[in-house]
Amino acid sequence: MSAGTPRGFGGPETGRDVTRYMRVELHETEPSADGAPRVVGTAPAADHLRGPDGGVRAGALLAILDSVGGLCGGLAALPDAWVVSTNMSARTLTREHRGPFRVEAGVLRKGRTSVVTGIEIRDSGARDAIVVDGVLTSALLVPQAGPPRWERPMSLPVAPPLPEPVPPLPEWMGARPIDGNTMEMPLPDALRNPWGILHGGVVVSLADLAAEHVTRRTTTDVVLHFLAPNRVGPVRATATELGRRSDGVVSRVEVREHGAGRVTALAVVTSA
């Protein structure tokens, strides 16, 4: 899988607009017994992240998962490489969120070409109930200017609050329906990651919105494969309902980089 032109890894703040919007704070903690890095994040259950059912949107939760799991995978790839997400699978276990969320990521496996991280999001305001259980797989890649050289242990405090009123997630993304199955969004620089491509958390949020648009239900489970980078907007996600069962609707979502006319992600979404 190819990455886009690196936007730059000069500083840890580069490409952090998405985590700023999600208000994610990230800290590298004591490594595990085998020396692999671990990352703990916190994020509020902010109003601007909530969906029609009152809970934080699955897309926002998975964007947080992607940020924390991605950083953990990246730290595991250092000093030789950095990472780009290749797929994630995660399930939301509760839809009532008080917050703040505590996110823990650890390395499940590091190979020659990929890193697999396990991520758990818990609700500190609800007796640490598990909100999301997921896995993120990332490919090891070497940026043009070389891997980042950051002070360790890594710590990324939360950015200053965004000016009020903070737009809700679909509005912030610029996402809008263009037909009964498809959501479209532009690709502004603010939504790019350090590789210069659309942030993986935004891709999964767009898939979530497309499934919600088609099923009129709330996303509970996402499996998403990143197939190619989104460099040229607009980006479109088209959802197709596959079948129904007692716990919801299963949909297939295809994300296309409309500007380049290719499929960039494939997701299977369950909505309750």
Residues that bind another protein (CB under 8 A): 1-2, 86-87, 89, 91, 93-94, 108-109, 111, 113-114, 116, 118, 130, 133-135, 137, 139, 221, 223, 225, 227-228, 242-247, 250, 252, 263, 266, 268, 270
DSSP string spanning 18-47?
A: HHHHHT-EEEEE---TTS--EEEEEE---G
Query: What is the rounded distance in angstroms from the CA atom of residue 45 to the CA atom of residue 63?
Result: 13
CB-nearer residue toward another protein: 17 or 221: 221
Nearer to another protein, 17 or 123 (CB): 123
- C-beta of 135: minimal distance to another protein in Å? 5
Write down the least CB distance from residue 17 to another protein, Å. 27
**Single-letter amino acid, residue 8:** G
Instruction: State in angstroms the smallest separation of the CB of 251 from another protein.
Output: 10
If the CB atoms of residues 169 and 253 are measured against another protein, the closer one turns out to be: 253
Between 78 and 250, whose beta carbon lies closer to another protein? 250
The CB-of-189 to another protein minimum distance in angstroms stands at 26
Closest C-alpha among 153, 105, 158, 171 to residue 133: 105
Measured from the CB of residue 54, what is the shortest distance to another protein in angstroms?
A: 19
Q: Considering only CA atoms, which of 35, 4, 146, 5 is closest in space to residue 81?
A: 146
Nearest-5° angle of CA 255, CA 260, CA 262?
40
Q: Which is nearer to another protein, 104 or 133 (CB)?
A: 133
Which amino acid, one-letter code, is at 178? I
Shortest Cβ distance from residue 224 to another protein (Å)? 9
Measured between alpha carbons, how far is 83 from 141 in angstroms, rounded to an integer? Answer: 6
The smaller minimum CB distance to another protein, of residues 175 and 237, is found at 237
Asked if 120 and 103 touch (Cβ cutoff 8 Å), the reply is yes
Of 203, 202, 214, 200, nearest to 270 (Cα)?
Answer: 214
